[in-house]
Structure 1
Amino acid sequence: MANKAGNRRVGTAAKDDDAAAAAQQPKILTLSAVTLATRDMARAVRFYEALGFPLKYGGPSETFTSFEFGGTFLNLIADARAPAAWWGRVIVYVSDVDRLYRKALAAGLEPEFAPLDAPWGERYFHIVDPDGHEISFARPLG
């Protein structure tokens, strides 16, 4: 910030100005939702319900569906033209990775591998939904 003579303020006053400006900036708080396209809403809803995702809105015959967990939403939007291509993954923390893995198997789903302990400190497994979206279920180790 400049004084009346056009000189840049220095020292404590400049730091206070910088701190005040930073305090007024918007902050990124949390992830609200991830929205995934699906070519078959009924099939996608069955998949996520089989894993235990709680349905909040919509359903198998709707064009938009939301599952809510831990204050976050996983949304599905019907789009018959949605391409099946790898785009990355969503990581969801769960209370018991191994129990969810067994639940997925019991529901006839096919996780990519059995739960592993990762060197970065998580136990996890991956599963691909019917539209090709990769979901990782994890829990911190220790």
Structure 2
Amino acid sequence: MTATFNGTGLIVSDLARSLAFYRRLGLAIPAAADAEPHVEVVLPGGQRLLFDTEDTIRSFDPAWAPASAGQGRISLAFACEDPAEVDAVHEDLVAAGYESHLAPWDAFWGQRYASIVDPDGNTVDLYAPLAATVPASS
């Protein structure tokens, strides 16, 4: 028997607020999900992103406590089509009131890269390959 990874779970303090954040990043989450205690979103390739409220977790694990503020332990990554989209998505999220962790920059590993903080303190990375440089003609 072999276990197969197929999902990432997020424990959220305000489900509707968290779902609104991830909708802005393009995830198809029905509005009715805002009132549920557990939400699953199937991602391209079959992986799932799972959302549970703190109350849901405490219903089966009464001793559970959230990590201290600012100590998110996971980071999710969203690929963008190009560097301009990294900038635009970052700008849209900041304008919507979400905190920027790293403003867009050209990373040494060849990507336009930025990080936003989701409503529960987890970082969400935005990235796209930098345009290939064309050698100057002689």
Question: Shorter-normalised TM-score: what interval?
Answer: 0.5 to 0.7
Structure 1 contact 58–65 (Cα < 8 Å) conserved: no
The amino acid across from 1:38 in the alignment is V
Which residue number corresponds to residue 83 of structure 1?
A: 67
Counterpart of 2:48 in structure 1 is: 73
User: Are 2:18 and 1:34 aligned?
Assistant: no
Cα deviation, residue 37, structure 1: 0.8
Alpha-carbon spacing, 1:32–1:138, altered in 2? closer, same or farther (3 Å): farther
SS state at 2:16 partner: helix
Alignment root-mean-square deviation, CA: 2.7
Structure 1: give runs of 5+ residues left out of the alignment.
1-25
Once residues 79 and 108 of structure 1 are traced to their aligned partners in structure 2, the CA distance between those partners, rounded to angstroms, is 23
One-letter amino acid matched to 2:115: H
In structure 2, the residue matched to 1:92 is: 78
Runs of 4 or more consecutive aligned structure 1 residues displaced over 4 Å after TM superposition: none
1:69 Cα deviation from its structure 2 partner: 4.1
Q: TM-score, normalised by structure 1?
A: 0.66
Distance of aligned partners of 1:35 and 1:58 in 2 relative to their CA distance in 1, 3 Å threshold: farther
What residue identity is the alignment partner of 2:72? W
What's the secondary structure of 1:139's corresponding residue? strand
Whether the 8 Å CA contact 1:39–1:82 is kept in 2: the answer is no
**1:63 aligned partner:** 37
**1:85-142 residue CA offsets vs partner (Å, 9 max, x unmatched):** 3314222212221121122133222222321111111111111111111111111223
TM-score scaled by length of structure 2: 0.68
**Structure 2 residue matching 1:97: 3-state secondary structure:** helix
Contact 2:7/2:49 (8 A) holds in 1:
yes
Give 1:83's aligned amino acid: A
CA contact (8 A) 1:38 1:82 kept: no
For 2:49, the aligned partner's letter is L
